[in-house]
Structure 1
């Protein structure tokens, strides 16, 4: 039995730039053009940016993406693992295709899988797209994070604290890297996210009267001594490089977490969690 409402009729051929018709509603060959395309999306940032699409895996992640107003184009399922009766819960506009075990193993990127993955349209993440729903927004900013695991953890922290926005300054990694989607457990879809240069972000914050608190050792005070009840941006850098001097100069106040052990730094996602939840504590977790 084929579990399909609307199946993918055309897929872009990367070799000739032509459209290839899909004659079947099931895919059993790893050489199928759609499967090759998915592998490229999974492995190549350039392909994701070129097509403005990306892959995601897992029922929860797909549902979070839909809730976040992401356009899901295609869902691929492995019936041996995924309960296909649940496919009725997805919008009729999504192409649903059944694949073989060999095909699914080719395109899956998790060590453990739920037997369902999807192709979705990405979003532009411009600073101008940020919408504040209150007069005292709380923003988490990370400058030049590179490791997908750290970025995913930062997004999970932001979701847990329900911050108003996450901004990535001078991004070094494609936001739709599958490892970011996976490590964020879908929080890439639940946060309001923007990217930009450090200079553009500082200008944006100043225009919106949002105070900057940079996690940097120079000229810093202990983080819990500041008042974050008004519009605030908590800015963190990487453990290796810290924040650029531009942030130090732009800060209302530089802040630091007192270290009581043998080392003088901690993981960026851990630091972000400490700082953001202090701001939330001051706001009575509203």
Structure 2
């Protein structure tokens, strides 16, 4: 079995770059996954692993071999150099990234989609992906993405749901054109010219669109909307966390669809 015990090993140095640099992930077409559950979800989602590394003090070799036929044993120093979290299961994998373009997006005949414009915080992206997974959405589209979706913070905050959802990215104008071409109704969560969300019919092909908590959706979305929608609030503020707002909309749509 191959063993690596030096943080100066060229392969280990390349993995550090995958952790830290979006450019390295894009150039290599690979990214790092940390944790047994996340790796298992990636495999279940059809992602290919190029390598798997394990620290035997935490992860026995037998467990590593269940996930990869040729795991690489590493020591404490190497593991701590690569591990992004303070406490994990002593296992990491190098996975091949996927084509996240709109052209690669396969949808059913009557899709229910979540669109998020310019989410900046990895925690919010992860929460949106977890909500989408819980609801069994047909796709999540990130418009004008501000973060690399294979960023370790996104993978971590999604608890592996980056692998369980069908995900695509594109510019706002590209996503709007894609939805219109597919005859998917666009429901934009915004304060302007909006009607209560529960009054709309989401049983036909629908996209639920949310923006940032700070500025909301940009004008092109409000102009393109089939209907602008709002979640009525009874408190003193007029906004809530984007993932919470998305969950309210998504599960109303799912309720209407009989799920």
On whether the aligned pair clears a TM of 0.5, the verdict is: yes
Number of the residue aligned with 2:14: 37
Aligned partners of 2:54, 2:64: CA distance in 1, in Å? 9
**Structure 2: where are the runs of 5+ without partners?**
none
Matched, 1:74 2:51: yes
Residues 212-250 of structure 1 deviation map (CA, whole Å, 9 limit, x = unaligned): 000011110111111101100000000011000101111
TM alignment of 1:219-238, pairs within 5 A: 219-238=193-212
**Structure 1: where are the runs of 5+ without partners?**
5-24
SS in structure 2 opposite 1:266? coil
Number of the residue aligned with 2:3: 26
Contact 2:52–2:64 (CA<8 Å) still a contact in 1? Answer: no
Aligned partners of 2:86, 2:195: CA distance in 1, in Å? 43
SS in structure 2 opposite 1:229? coil
Note the C-alpha offset of 1:87: 2.8
Aligned partners of 1:211, 1:170: CA distance in 2, in Å? 20
Q: CA RMSD, aligned part only?
A: 1.0
SS in structure 2 opposite 1:142? strand
TM-score w.r.t. structure 1 length? 0.89
Aligned partners of 1:31, 1:136: CA distance in 2, in Å? 52
SS in structure 1 opposite 2:186? strand
Aligned partners of 1:96, 1:47: CA distance in 2, in Å? 23
TM-score w.r.t. structure 2 length? 0.98
Contact 2:47–2:95 (CA<8 Å) still a contact in 1? Answer: yes
Matched, 1:119 2:94: yes
Aligned partners of 1:91, 1:45: CA distance in 2, in Å? 25
Note the C-alpha offset of 1:83: 2.4
Aligned partners of 1:91, 1:118: CA distance in 2, in Å? 9
Which entry has the higher C-alpha Rg, 1 or 2? Answer: 1
TM alignment of 1:77-226, pairs within 5 A: 77-92=54-69, 95-133=70-108, 135-226=109-200
